[in-house]
Amino acid sequence: MREIIDLVDAAVTAAGRAADFLRRTPRPAPGTWTEKSQRDFVSDADRGAEALIADALRTQVPGSVVVGEELSPTLARAGRIVWIVDPLDGTTNYLHGYPQYAVSIGCLVDGELAVGVVHDVTRDLVYRAGRGEGAWLGAERLAVSSVTDPRYALVGTGFPFKMLDGLDGYVRQFTRVVRAVSGVRRAGSAALDLVDVAAGRLDAFWELTLAPWDVAGGALLIREAGGLITTLEGDPDILGGRSILAGNRALHGWLQAQVGAA
């Protein structure tokens, strides 16, 4: 357990350095953004934050492997300790000054998620979890919501914006869900959406085709807060760049059935 706690501390430190960098760095002008693919931008802020994280993690945990969205876009599970880093989750929000973006760090130990840290940059809140150690915001232990009736549920989602060939299928899912719940929200940062599930602010969440670095930090928070996070098919291995479904145990099952039926 001591090793897990030390890894959590390392991730908290690295995420904090990146968050400080993002807060003090002037927001890049539109002409300086790089379009990796249609509607998918990156800036010097992303790259600078990731470099800080990688340096901090390698210094604190020598020999560990750092897999980041900008520096190393292929997930590798080689090595005993592998960090999966999103230096700026919610890049489009950040570039437009919309205050919903985060630094997300997950850690695999012997191939299994063991650490999750999400730093909400604009609110300067640090969410952390270690396998078997619970999920925490400061001294407050997180727990998923107790809502079991979909009529009272607030559900988070993410719209397809890169791969629009899946949009029609998503609209069918959205239509089925929105007719049955009290509300649906889309804020633009999957890491913070997963935090909101872990903290009980969202009762459930789904999104199509998320990358490993989008979910690695938040997934363990949900599990340690008593919730479930799987693929839409129910597979607990959520690091394969597939669609994600999360929630408390009752609404996870309900949402999986609704999305599957659509």
101 shares its domain with 136: yes
Lowest-confidence pick of 88-92, 101-105, 153-157: 88-92
90 shares its domain with 194: no
166 shares its domain with 221: yes
- Asked whether residue 37 carries a pLDDT value surpassing 70, the answer given is no
130 shares its domain with 7: yes
In tens, the pLDDT along 42-59 reads 678 888 999 999 999 999
Give the residue-averaged pLDDT of 211-222.
Answer: 96
Q: Provide the residue range defining the domain that includes 72.
A: 2-141
28 shares its domain with 128: yes
- Confidence band, pLDDT 50/70/90 cuts, at residue 69: low
Final residue in a domain of this structure, among 141, 170, 205: 141
Query: What is the pLDDT, as a whole number, of residue 240?
Result: 86
User: Distance (Å, rounded) from C-alpha 173 to C-alpha 192?
Assistant: 22
31 shares its domain with 103: yes
- Asked whether residue 24 carries a pLDDT value surpassing 70, the answer given is yes
CATH number of the domain at 116, please.
3.30.540.10
131 shares its domain with 165: no
Better-scored residue on pLDDT, 164 or 245: 245
161 shares its domain with 241: yes
In tens, the pLDDT along 158-186 reads 988 766 677 899 999 999 999 999 999 99
- pTM exceeding the 0.85 threshold for the entire prediction: yes
Final residue in a domain of this structure, among 79, 108, 141: 141
Give the residue-averaged pLDDT of 17-22.
Answer: 97
- Confidence band, pLDDT 50/70/90 cuts, at residue 218: very high
Q: Report the domain count for the chain.
A: 2
CATH number of the domain at 174, please.
3.40.190.80
Final residue in a domain of this structure, among 141, 163, 198: 141
183 shares its domain with 55: no
**Contacts of residue 217, Cβ cutoff 8 Å, sequence gap at least 6:** 84, 86, 89, 102, 104, 105, 106, 116, 117, 118, 191, 194
Q: How far is CA 11 from CA 57, 101, 172, 248, in A?
A: 7, 17, 38, 26
Give the tokens for residue 230: 């799987």
187 shares its domain with 136: no
24 shares its domain with 119: yes
257 shares its domain with 176: yes
Query: What is the pLDDT, as a whole number, of residue 45?
Result: 85
Give the residue-averaged pLDDT of 148-157.
Answer: 98
